[in-house]
Structure 1
Amino acid sequence: MLTCRNLLASSMLVALSICLGMGCVSPHPEFKEERSIPGMRGDSLLSQDVNGVSGGKFDRENLWRTTVNIQSNAGVCSGILIAPKAVLTAAHCFCAVTQAAFDRSSCVKRATVISHIYLYRPENRGWEPIPTTSEGDVIAHEEFTSQRTSEGFVDPAKRVADLAIVALDKELDGLKPDVLLRPQDVSEGDELTVIGYGPTRTNGPDGNVRRSGTNTIFTVTEFPNGRVREFRFNGSGAHTHDGDSGGPALYFDDGKRWLVGING
């Protein structure tokens, strides 16, 4: 994973001055579907945003409340609270990425951020999501750019700084950041926990529910531009889908939650 050089964690971000490098986490080639989870390193990321956490677990214990649901005119994504009024997520969640040269004017400017507490209602024999919500300004990384190939895939050589902050108008009630930025890279064999609000299969009907799952890094690849690292997961374990983009990939060590990447 990542080396974070300058992640501002102030409660109000006037400018996005984050120098994070990005990589991806995706499965071993034996896993048939293309799924990827970027990690932060250098300052760019590669992501095929075609992938919720399949093989994951519904967060009925409310362990991951700082992983939030983000809704905008560009669609639905996930994010991670890194300061009382700042959510880190992926820039491509808000900007059109096509085969044409990237146009920053395509990026939406506002988003709604929602965190949920899940409560069991025995009278209904089901779980009720209790939301806390804030609007916020979207601040895409100033160096973000991305473009698709003629086949429709994201070109890793042309995806840079896929990061954004949602600067919240107000704090999410009762919610405080609970992740740290890890100073060391993750490596092959490390187990990561991925969290998001996506469905359990591509274009599935069960999105907008917070789920988590674990998987193990199988390989780490650095692309020729030197700014993108890809972490490939084993075929077994959890993988991500649409709606999970921007959610966290966490490494656990010494009882702490270390943010080592974001879902792509």
Structure 2
Amino acid sequence: MARGFGRLCGALAGLLALGLAGGPAGAVVGGRAAPEAAASSVMVLSSNGGVCTGIVVAPDAVLTAGHCVAARAEHRVHYKDEAGTPVLAEIAARALHPGYDAGAVAGRRRSIDLALVRLAAPLPARFVTASLSAAMPRAGERLTLSGYGVAAPGDARSTGTYRSVDLGVIEPHGPSRILVWLGAGPGGASACHGDSGGPIAAGTSALAVSAWVAGKACGGLSQGILLGPQRAWIDRTLSGWGLAARWQAD
């Protein structure tokens, strides 16, 4: 474990120096900086250089996209302590949704791209457990997508600032009732690399998790996995860890 953690630290050292040491927290292309809204979000990092966003659902548990932690690599949750020093928190347990399919995009198959991770120790008290929503969005509704990804395609230096953007729902849930699709905003505002696992929210409650963005350059459609249809799995997994999510009252 110590050797694996050392490899992770070495692989992430350049990333931390570029983007994580100077800002309060990742980025949405075309979005607005929203560090005040980052109290329920963290970064999920992997030793292969991957960067994702995660939603705090319990003091020691994070909900994110399945592809963010499915790879055979070392993973850590990143945040900053009160002095601004980067912390790489160890993950004690991981649960991929049984409907997650790593080859779904290439094979054009359905995938429920969700995962839960449990930390070896609770996050600092300043983190707030996110409110989750089982609501089904309506076409034309405006939702807020947030994350720690890049502010512009290929700009790794912009990773590390939490950003949000309001986008319109163009497809409420699809025939499978597991997805929500968001259209690009003005100037191509959308999710981008590093925003996977971040919240798609109605008001103050997350109703979906960002999972995919159209095109290699971002600026297109953004896709999220709706939480309502997966509530039983989320609750069952957290209950097995002695935890519980905070769901918005219906």
TM-score range, shorter chain: 0.5 to 0.7
Structure 2 residue 178 is matched with structure 1 residue 231? no
Q: Deviation of residue 139 (structure 1)?
A: 2.2
Tell me whether 1:135 sits opposite 2:90 in the alignment.
yes
Query: 2:63 aligns to what?
Result: 88
Structure 1 portions without partners, runs of 5+: 1-51, 96-106, 120-128, 149-153
> Structure 2: 5+ residue runs without aligned partners?
1-26, 212-250
Structure 1 position 245, deviation (Å): 0.8
Q: Provide the rounded CA distance (Å) in 1 between the counterparts of 2:51 and 2:31.
A: 19
Q: Report the alpha carbon displacement of residue 173 of structure 1 after superposing the two structures with TM.
A: 1.5
Specify whether residues 58 and 215 from structure 1 end up closer, same or farther in structure 2 by C-alpha distance, changes over 3 A only: closer
Q: Which residue of 1 aligns with 2:111?
A: 160
Q: Do structure 1's residue 63 and structure 2's residue 37 form an aligned pair?
A: yes
Secondary structure class of the residue paired with 1:142? coil
The answer to whether the aligner puts 1:258 opposite 2:199 as a matched pair is no
Residues 107-127 of structure 1 show CA distances to partners (whole Å, capped at 9, x for unaligned) of: 3364211124798xxxxxxxx
1:132, distance to aligned residue in structure 2 (A)? 4.3
Count of equivalent residues? 182
Q: SS of the counterpart of 1:64?
A: helix
Contact 1:58 1:209 in 2 (8 A): no
Q: Could you say if the C-alpha distance between residues 159 and 206 of structure 1 is closer, same or farther in structure 2, counting changes exceeding 3 Å?
A: farther
Larger strand share, 1 or 2: 1
Q: Secondary structure of the residue that 2:67 maps to in structure 1?
A: helix
Return the match for 1:114 from 69, 74, 78: 78
Q: Distance in 1 between matches of 2:37 and 2:172?
A: 31
What CA distance in whole angstroms lies between the structure 1 residues aligned with 2:141 and 2:76?
A: 33
Equivalent runs, 1:198-217 vs 2, <5 Å: 198-217=149-168
Contact 1:138–1:166 (Cα < 8 Å) also in 2: yes
Matching residue within 141, 149, 171 for 2:122: 171
How far the C-alpha of 1:235 sits from its partner, in A, is 3.3
Q: TM-score, normalised by structure 1?
A: 0.60
Paired letter, 1:135: E
What residue identity is the alignment partner of 1:63?
A
Give the SS at the match of 1:215. strand
Q: Structure 1 residues 114 and 84, CA, compared in 2 at 3 Å: closer, same or farther?
A: same
Distance 1:218 1:195 in 2: 15
Matched, 1:73 2:73: no
Q: Residue 140 of structure 1 aligns to which amino acid in structure 2?
A: L
**1:245 corresponds to which of 196, 209, 214:** 196
Against the structure 1 CA distance between its residues 117 and 231, is the aligned structure 2 distance closer, same or farther, given a 3 Å change threshold? Answer: farther
- 1:218·1:233 contact (CA, 8 Å) conserved in 2? yes
Say if 1:188 and 1:166 are closer, same or farther in 2 by CA, change over 3 A: same
| Residues 65 and 115 in structure 2, CA contact (< 8 A), matched pair in contact too | yes
Task: Tell me if the contact between 1:181 and 1:258 (Cα under 8 Å) persists in the aligned partners.
Answer: yes
Q: CA deviation at 1:210?
A: 2.6
Distance 1:109 1:138, change over 3 A: farther
Distance 2:144 2:79 in 1: 19
Alpha-carbon RMSD across the aligned residues, in angstroms, is: 2.6
Greater helix fraction, Structure 1 or Structure 2 = 2
Q: Which runs of 4+ in 1 moved over 6 A?
A: none
3-state secondary structure, aligned to 2:117 = strand
Counterpart AA for 1:167:
R
Matched, 1:197 2:148: yes
